[in-house]
Structures are given as C-alpha cells and as structure tokens.
Amino acid sequence: MPPLTTPKSGDALFASVERVNAELFTLTYGAIVRQLLTDLEEVEEVNKQLDQMGYNIGTRLVDEFLAKSNVSNCADFKETADTIAKTLSYVCPVIAFFTATVAMHHSGTFHALSSANSLGFKMFLGVTATVTNWDAEGTTCSFVLEDNPLVDFVELPDTCQGLQYCNVLSGVIRGALEMVSMKTEVTWVRDMLRGDDAYEMRVKLTKQVPEEYPYKDDD
Amino acid sequence: MISVGKTKQYANVLDKPLSRGRQEVSLSAFAFLFSEVVQYNQTQVDNIADLERRLEDAGYAVGARVLELLCHREKGNRRETRLLGILSFIHSNVWKVLFGKVADSLEKGTEHEDEYMISEKELLVNRFISVPKDMGAFNCGAFVAGIVRGVLDNAGFPAVVTAHFVPIEGQQRPRTTILIKFAEEVLRRESRLG
C-alpha cells in the first residue's frame, strides 16, 4: 500500500522547524554535564543520568517527529499492522523509526531504508547520520556521525576518561524507539573525544513489544 | 567497518579552528534539553531559591564561555572595559548569538545608580514553560540571568543578576526582566575612569 503522504526529506524537515544557535545548545549541554559531574562524582553515575535524560527526551521527541515528518499516520498503521509485525523484526529499529515508518507502507522494502539517512538527526540536530554495518539478522546496525554538535569546545580531561559525553544521544534513541514498541540497547563504539575518527553508536533490537489494536480512543 | 575519515583529528581542542557559529539545531532539541536541565535540578533541591541558584550556576558556566568565544571571534581578542560597553555587548552581541536577536530593551534603573535591566518579551527559555502556582515567582530566566552574570563576572564586572516576571498590560504572558545590580567596586572604577 502506497503512503498517503510522502515523508519529508531531512533537509526539508530541518528547514521547516524553528531553530536556535547550536552553540547555545552545546554550551547548555556542557553546563549540565558539568553539574552532573559535580553532583554525582562518579563518572559511571553521570553516564547513567545522561542516558536517562536522553531517554526522557526521546519519549517526548518521538511525538513531534511523527507529527512533523509525515512519516506515518494512524489509518495506515492499523491497516498494515500485520505487515509491521512481520517486517519490523528485520528492519533496523532506528531506521524504522527515524527514516521511515515508510517501511510499513512499503511492506518492508529494504532499499527504501538504505537510501534514507536518519531524518531524526537532521531534524533535531541539523546533522546527517549514516546508517551502516548491519548484522546478518538485520537487528543490529550502526549510526555514524561525523559531525556532532554536542561536542564543540569539548575536551575530556584525564579525570573523566570513562565519561560517555554524548550518552544523551543514545538515551534519546532508546527512548524514542521504545515509544514505537521497540526495545533497544545502544552502545558507543567510536567516540571522537577519545581519538576515534567518528562517532558510532551500535543499536541492537532486543525485543519487540506488540502494539495493541485497535486503539480504543480513536473510534 | 566503514571508515569515515573526513574530519581532521585534533589532539587539543585549542588547535581546532574556531567555528563561525552559524550552525543551528532545532528549537525543540534545545527546549527538550533545557527541560531536562530544569527537571534534573528540581530533584536536587528542596526550595525554589535553590533551584534558581542552580539554574543560575548552569547559566554562569555558559556565560563564561560565551564571553571567551565572542571575544575571540568578534572582537579580535579585546573585551569591553567600560560599563555601558559591556552592557551593550550583552544586549547586542551575546543575545544575537544565543537567541538570534538583540534583546528587546536595555534600561538603567531609575531608583538606583547601580541597577540595569535587560527585558525580553518572550525569553527563549521561558517559551515552553508554565510555572505551577505553588512554585510562586520561580522563573527559568534564572538560567539566562546566570549567563549574563557569567559574562559580566568574567569580564571584570561582578554583579548580582536576577530574573523577574513583569506583567504587561493587555498581554497574557508577562515579560522577563533580567535585573543587574553591579558590585560597588564596579561603579567606583567606572567613576574613576570618568
């Protein structure tokens, strides 16, 4: 079944939302990380708290994303429920969410996904993420960011080497996907703050929570 | 593994070229983040004054860095040394970079020599915030007050900076006024400089 509306491109989406200077965002994020380091003292605790904050953000951000991106709507969702259940198990969760519940419309065509980069990153952070390194089952993939607005002006001091500075991002992905019924584990494999050549998050689909249909409040 | 080696590696953050600061993120990204900042800080305090103080501290850290950044980028490593100079720097340069516009107004207090006010009809950080009744006069603008204090303090103008709601007639939402009260030494120096 063809989509009723075409999902917008990442650039179009980003152009259509209100924007603020990235430095305000970056420095504010830096301020909260510093507060956490002071309050919690343990780097591990800070990682956890950042992830939790990201999770909170993700669960709310998904609504805005779905509302603005034309990615899906309820009518289609219901009608293709069967397909979703079958296809999503092998569709990368992140893409499935970020680029396209398009997959749902296209009954899980894979190429629709591979051509699309993560809309969400573009829409919210104004950067492009590449999706790559799928595993054979199609339940694990990597998000690679070359450009990451969170880390401008940042250098990890020796005392904070265990800090996952960008943990808020992995939390966001986890939270957002959970709202579309996919439990995931997100881990950082590359981090430019530690001298790697890019940022890479590994996203693994661990469990799918079946949606309950039909939605009662819709009728 | 696909390697994406476009970005040059810098050992030290100071070796990086200074960006021109044109990059943007969505307002929602900031709003969501800021809301987490407020909520987290709320878990760390048991009264409103402490919450405002913590938000101000977070803002202070931002202000200190903004001053450094803008002095490098826009002012050829010079910073303002005069009172009016630094105030208009905040009202124009800082506001423009952080909030995309100059502040609505910059005024001198009529009752006290050492007081100045920067007012904003709809402060960015207050845009999605409605303060519950039981939190009284709490104002998220404390974060912005902190930014202002951070800039002033690091430029050598210690001051007490607070954010207040001021109702405007015929408008549902009050504007936010950032009240700056300079330390005595600042005024003494200023009068010496003539």
Average pLDDT score over residue span B19-39: 85
Alpha-carbon distance of B33 to B159, in angstroms, equals: 28
* CB-based contact, A198 to chain B, within 8 Å: yes
Residue B55 pLDDT > 60, yes or no?
yes
CB contact under 8 A, B98 and A22: no
Kindly determine whether residue B9 and residue A60, on different chains, have CB atoms separated by under 8 Å. Answer: no
pLDDT at A81: 37
Question: Is pTM beyond 0.80 here?
Answer: yes
A149 vs A199: CA distance, rounded Å: 11
CATH, domain range A19-208: 3.30.1380.20
d(CA B26, CA A97): 19
Measured CA to CA, the distance from residue B145 to residue B54 in angstroms comes to 11
Tell whether A203 lies on the interface with B, counting CB pairs under 8 A.
no
Please report, in tens digits, the pLDDT of each residue of chain A (219 residues total).
Answer: 444 455 566 677 777 778 888 889 999 999 999 999 999 989 999 999 999 999 998 888 877 777 776 655 433 333 333 333 333 333 333 343 443 333 333 333 333 333 333 566 777 777 777 777 777 776 777 888 877 878 888 888 888 888 999 899 889 888 877 877 778 888 999 988 888 888 898 888 777 766 666 666 554
| pLDDT tens column, A55-99 | 998 888 877 777 776 655 433 333 333 333 333 333 333 343 443
CA distance B92 to B112: 23
Residues A20, B164, B128, CA angle at the centre, nearest 5°? Answer: 40
- Residue in chain B closest to A53 (alpha carbons) equals B36
ipTM (interface predicted TM): 0.89
Task: Give long-range contacts, CB 8 A cutoff, 24+ apart: B155-158.
Answer: B155/B67, B155/B79, B155/B80, B155/B86, B156/B81, B157/B83, B157/B86, B157/B182, B157/B183, B157/B186, B158/B182, B158/B183, B158/B185, B158/B186
Q: What is the DSSP string of B31-99?
A: HHHHHHHHHHHHHT-SSHHHHHHHHHHHHHHHHHHHHHHHHHHHSTT----SHHHHHHIIIIIIHHHHH
Q: Identify from B20, B24, B51, B151 which residue to disrupt to test chain A contact, counting A C-beta atoms within 10 A and taking the largest count.
A: B24
CA–CA separation, B44 and B48 (whole Å): 11
Query: What is the CATH code for B26-193?
Result: 3.30.1380.20
Interchain proximity A20–B100, CB inside 8 Å? yes
In angstroms, the CA A57 to CA B43 distance is 17
CA-nearest residue to A15 within chain B is B26
At residue A106, the pLDDT reads: 31
The answer to whether A91 and A104 are in contact (CB under 8 A) is: no
The DSSP letter of residue A131 is: E
Considering only CB atoms, which residues of chain B are within 8 Å of chain A? 1-7, 9, 12-13, 19, 21, 23-30, 32-34, 36-37, 39-41, 44, 54, 57-59, 61-62, 65-66, 69, 97-100, 124
